[in-house]
Amino acid sequence: MKANANYGIIDYDTNLMRLIKGRQKMISHQRRVFIVNGRRTPFGKFGGELSLIKPVDLAVYATNALIQDSKINPDTIDQVIFSNVIPSTPDTLYAGRHLALRCGLKITTPGIVINRLCGSGIQSILDAARLIRCNEAHSVLVAGAENLSMAPHLVYGSRFGTKYGPLKSQDLLLDTLTDSLCQTPMGITAENLAEEFKITRIESDEFSFQSHQKANSAYQKNLIQPELISIKIDKINCHKDEHLRHEISLDDMSRLKPTFKKDGLVTAGSASGIVDGAAAMIIASEDYLIRNQLEPLAEIIGGEVVGVEPTKMGIGPVPAIKRLLERNNLNLDRIDLFEINEAFAPQVIACQKALNIDPEKLNIWGGAVALGHPLGATGIKISLTLARQLKHNRGELGISSACIGGGQGIAMLIKNV
């Protein structure tokens, strides 16, 4: 195809082929992206030690410790991505920008807040990796925080008043844990999977008990503590995850009553803990690591996000992990470790059964049933933990994954370096 001679002769097909070849060359030389390091606060129990600390403040504590421990010059960080689900304080709406300013980054450093519900933390890491691969950044600070204790009650109609009757008040925390489109609480989606995969109450209680056992064992071996910072302010002294039960038995689990459904499986003991906390990471290019003489934790290989039936949202990690493996020409046996967020015990069991994951590879230091699930921070936390597990166990490949309210799943593949 040639353009009109009056406008100059252009060989369209030739230029198109050059463009395609240039694109192929760029893809073949795609920039490598790494997790440099990460830190997190302890996860405070609902109404506990951290309940009065705002989400941005929690993230500031984690980020300052991360920057200091990693010996990173804040001026070298190009962008900030902040993951949060419930903006429990007004400044949380400004969290990306405020975090940059409060942690000493350049005045020109932009910040953004993203929300993919329980997948927000992993999404923030994948977004950072995309910025670096597109040559729009060399290093990105990703942080996530949630203060579920501060989740507000909303009053509708108060701005202009109501002609008759009371104002309508809603609990934003409860509403967040219920899909309004299909009118399904998240716990019921786990019950739906329990029915489909024929999961028993005994299986669910055993998984929940083991989550606590594994987390307690990891604490005793000093495996979890290196990713934690201590928060000591006034009368607050929080240095470990508060939701974790240190003395608990399988019999204790079995006596708990179902929460969402009569004769159901999900109880207060087999659901993820409602907690407050924050996590932060530095994501960077290979060039950045070389220039700043930094040793990374892991390399980010790729990620996938998929949609699933909303009333069975907990199965989301399964198609996300399958697509991730397929895209990277891998089979499940090549993966050394998995961190699948424990939204509910039956939900993770369903994913484990659907994928046939070896239980010895799954959530080996305990999960959210034991440690808690601060929505916006969880994806960063489990990805940090996974990277550290690969180092400790000398594994090569790991996948962090989460189900997402509304019917989605997210997964990320990382490699030990």
Q: How far, in Å, CA of 18 to CA of 140, rounded?
A: 32
**Residue 392: how many other CB atoms lie within 10 Å:** 16
From the number of C-beta atoms within 10 Å of its C-beta (0-12, 13-18, 19+), residue 417 rates as middle
Give the dihedral of Cα atoms 261, 262, 267, 270; nearest 10 deg: -70
- Cα dist from 203 to 36, 151, 270, 290, 350, whole Å: 38, 32, 10, 48, 11
Secondary structure (H, E, C), the chain: CECCHHHCCCEHHHHHHHHHHHHHHHHHCCCCEEEEEEEECCCEECCCCCCCCCHHHHHHHHHHHHHHHHCCCHHHCCEEEEECCCCCCHHHHHHHHHHHHHCCCCCCCCEEEECECECHHHHHHHHHHHHHHCCCCCEEEEEEEEEHHHCCEEEECCCCCCCCCCCEEEEHHHHHCEECCCCEEHHHHHHHHHHHCCCCHHHHHHHHHHHHHHHHHHHHCCCCHHHECCEEECCEEECCCCCCCCCCCHHHHHCCCCCCCCCCCCCCCCECCCEEEEEEEEEEEHHHHHHCCCCCCEEEEEEEEEECCHHHHHHCHHHHHHHHHHHCCCCHHHCCEEEECCCEHHHHHHHHHHHCCCHHHECCCCCHHHHCCCHHHHHHHHHHHHHHHHHHHCCCEEEEEEEECCCEEEEEEEEEC
Active site residues: 118, 403
Phi, psi of 328 (to 5 degrees): -105, 15
